[in-house]
Amino acid sequence: MTLFFTSDTHFGHQRTLEFSRRPFADVTAMDAALIANWNSAVKPGDTVYHLGDFGSMESLQYLSRLNGNIILLPGNYETPEMVEVMARTCKIIEPNTMIEVEGHRFQLVHEPEEATGAGFFLFGHIHQLQTVKRNGLNVGVDCHFFHPIDLQVILFYQNAIKNHYDDNVFMERLGGK
| Residues facing 146 on adjacent strands | none
Q: In sequence order, what are the residues at sequence separation of 6 or more whose Cβ sits closer than 8 angstroms to the Cβ of residue 146?
A: 22, 33, 34, 37
- Separation of alpha carbons 121 and 110, rounded Å: 10
Rg (the chain; Cα; Å): 16
- Cα–Cα distance list, 113 to 88, 95, 96, 153 (Å): 29, 11, 11, 22
Q: How many other CB atoms are found less than 10 A from the CB of residue 159?
A: 11
- Separation of alpha carbons 54 and 75, rounded Å: 8
Q: What is the pLDDT of residues 102-133, one digit of tens each?
A: 999 999 999 999 998 778 999 999 999 999 99
Read off the pLDDT band of 173 (50, 70, 90).
low
The mean pLDDT of the chain is 95
**pTM across the whole model:** 0.95
Q: What is the pLDDT of residues 75-109, one digit of tens each?
A: 999 999 999 999 999 999 999 999 999 999 999 99
**Domains detected in the chain:** 3-163 (3.60.21.10)
